[in-house]
Chains A and B, each alone.
Chain A
């Protein structure tokens, strides 16, 4: 429990920052009033309930989901650079989103979300099958290579569609730098359920994923079936990544930098690492979003850009501190 406290504290500060930051400064008492007696005529109450609370919820869901997805991926591929971007899952989401755009014309925010989902799921399933699948010999290297290959292929398809149609370029440009700004218009509850499902699968599979890291022979000796464990890990990654992409679009770097930080707080238990990753992922995304709202007022920097701006230096700093790889 004490290992969770620092992450909980950070998350608490991030939640506060997320509620306070913005073009409109709201006195803190207004928050209490808005909850106690919601006043439709009061613009402060409307800002809070219709903009900031949905953004907060969206940030919690997407951030926690990405933290979990990153930790599962880096653990199962034994690659400290693995994240949903590298295994081609974001590219899969982008691909079906654009394909849907081609067929349906200009989609609205909720449709965008639903269009991105099958792509993320399909890309995960594909990368798993390409990497060895249920035969159980999907080694970390095979899985990473399959992901990289799939990513390259999907991205070239994405480019092809973007070049083909001007309208799809507009949708894509807006979507590709992920943001929490549209969270209110997207089906957050559904995404929260997806993310929670993925998180539970990850938590349940965690001891068996740990066994897998001891090599295939020993993990079989410990009574696990490598193929099933990898499948469970991929289900967890797919559900959480899809949820995050659905709420916020692709968020760069978060799935990459949260796991190594979480490992520092959490120690070697994968379950604890997952919990801490979820808390820190949510905290970091909320902070990035809050910062993005105040750096160049009155306009906004999208959260996906902020996470990359904050994430890249943090990642370099981490990579330099850790002896070899980010598994220290």
Chain B
């Protein structure tokens, strides 16, 4: 399933945030969207999940406009974890994950064995099986973020969009979340798209980067092609040296 945008434009008030943006999300790959604050990273992600309506242009899933697709059928293929989801007070981790099955359930249909299997697999994938009966509020920040990821994994999408999934986490938990997402990608072919801030981690854990700047798309492609001093200057106005990461060999951005 290939997600792409065609001439996508947005404006807040008189200011236009994105103009005529054409991007393609490669299938079965991990993609990160990078760029300075306010350049429209989250806007792009939300538009791709059909949470907001673009001023003009289209979001295409396998070539068909997502506007014309059935809401529930779309939710079975494409999931989004927004930046600040709300947890019902006192909810248990297992009950939270169970809500990921909502798009698969009929109007009065009971809980089925395949729903239970999907939830168990999702908990297993994020390593929270042993905490399923604990209240979400008792978990640490990193565990809580993994519980939310388990919810969208239980949705069994082919394509997963995440809006800044690492923002409030310390480095250890950032690495944990990103490697978990890449593992899901490698194991099940899940297409992952995240908005990220840390370029070095993005380069380490992604196959494909989309770099946005104040004027729109700066570069898209493999990390070592996208993260160059020239493109970083165009996107952030930042003078930087790019060196290979001594551990993984992926590009590492060092502000000059």
Report which A residues bind B (CB closer than 8 A): 203-204, 207-208, 210-211, 213-215, 217-218, 220-225, 267-269, 324-325, 327-328
Closest B residue to A325 by CB, please name it.
Answer: B89
**Which residues of A have CB within 8 Å of B80?**
217-218, 221
**Which residues of B have CB within 8 Å of A215?**
82, 84-86
A215-B84, A324-B89, A328-B89 known; A222-B103 Cβ under 8 A: yes
**Which residues of B have CB within 8 Å of A214?**
85-88, 99, 151
B50 near A220: Cβ-Cβ < 8 Å: yes
The 10 closest A-B pairs by CB, nearest first: A223-B75, A217-B82, A223-B103, A215-B86, A327-B89, A221-B80, A223-B72, A268-B95, A218-B85, A222-B102
Interface residues of B in 40-98 (CB under 8 A from A): 46, 49-51, 71-76, 78-82, 84-92, 95
Q: List 13 A-B contacts (CB under 8 A).
A: A211-B102, A214-B88, A214-B151, A215-B82, A218-B80, A220-B50, A220-B51, A221-B81, A222-B79, A222-B102, A223-B74, A268-B91, A325-B89
A207-B105, A217-B46 known; A223-B85 Cβ under 8 A: no
Q: How many whole Å from B193's CB to the nearest CB in chain A?
A: 13
A218 near B81: Cβ-Cβ < 8 Å: yes
Closest B residue to A326 by CB, please name it.
Answer: B89
Which of B75, B86, B90, B105 sits near A221, CB closer than 8 Å?
B75
Chain B 173-206 interface mask (CB, 8 Å, partner A; 1/0): 0000000000000000000000000000000000
Interface membership of B108, Cβ < 8 A:
yes
Q: How many whole Å from B235's CB to the nearest CB in chain A?
A: 26
**Which residues of B have CB within 8 Å of A210?**
88, 99, 102
A214-B86, A217-B80, A221-B51 known; A207-B92 Cβ under 8 A: no
**Which residues of A have CB within 8 Å of B152?**
221
A203 near B86: Cβ-Cβ < 8 Å: no
CA separation between A325 and B82, bound complex, in Å?
25
Indicate the size class of the contact surface on chain B.
Answer: 35 or more
A-B contact count (CB 8 A): 78
A207-B102, A218-B80, A221-B51 known; A213-B88 Cβ under 8 A: yes
CA separation between A207 and B211, bound complex, in Å?
38
A222 near B155: Cβ-Cβ < 8 Å: yes
Interface residues of B in 90-123 (CB under 8 A from A): 90-92, 95, 99-100, 102-103, 105, 107-108
B95 near A223: Cβ-Cβ < 8 Å: no
B100 near A222: Cβ-Cβ < 8 Å: yes
**Which residues of B have CB within 8 Å of A211?**
99, 102
CA separation between A271 and B234, bound complex, in Å?
54
Closest A residue to B94 by CB, please name it.
Answer: A268
Closest A residue to B79 by CB, please name it.
Answer: A221
CA separation between A207 and B112, bound complex, in Å?
14
Closest B residue to A222 by CB, please name it.
Answer: B102
With A210-B88, A221-B78 already in contact, 16 other A-B pairs whose C-beta atoms are closer than 8 Å: A214-B86, A214-B87, A215-B85, A217-B46, A217-B51, A218-B85, A218-B86, A220-B51, A221-B79, A221-B80, A221-B82, A222-B155, A223-B75, A268-B90, A269-B95, A328-B90
CA separation between A46 and B192, bound complex, in Å?
72
Which of B79, B88, B103, B155 sits near A268, CB closer than 8 Å?
B88
**Which residues of A have CB within 8 Å of B50?**
220
**Which residues of A have CB within 8 Å of B103?**
222-223
Q: How many whole Å from B108's CB to the nearest CB in chain A?
A: 6
Closest A residue to B161 by CB, please name it.
Answer: A221
A222-B100, A268-B92 known; A203-B51 Cβ under 8 A: no
Which of B76, B84, B91 sits near A223, CB closer than 8 Å?
B76
Closest A residue to B89 by CB, please name it.
Answer: A327
Q: How many whole Å from B218's CB to the nearest CB in chain A?
A: 27
Q: How many whole Å from B164's CB to the nearest CB in chain A?
A: 13
Q: How many whole Å from A20's CB to the nearest CB in chain B?
A: 37
Q: How many whole Å from B7's CB to the nearest CB in chain A?
A: 24
A225 near B71: Cβ-Cβ < 8 Å: yes
Q: How many whole Å from A239's CB to the nearest CB in chain B?
A: 17
Most chain-B Cβ atoms within 10 A of its Cβ — which of A207, A221, A224, A269? A221
Most chain-B Cβ atoms within 10 A of its Cβ — which of A207, A217, A222, A327? A222
Which of A213, A222, A328 sits near B86, CB closer than 8 Å?
A213
Closest B residue to A75 by CB, please name it.
Answer: B88
Q: How many whole Å from B126's CB to the nearest CB in chain A?
A: 17
**Which residues of B have CB within 8 Å of A213?**
86, 88
CA separation between A328 and B76, bound complex, in Å?
31
Most chain-B Cβ atoms within 10 A of its Cβ — which of A215, A218, A224? A218
A204 near B107: Cβ-Cβ < 8 Å: yes
Closest A residue to B87 by CB, please name it.
Answer: A214
CA separation between A303 and B41, bound complex, in Å?
58
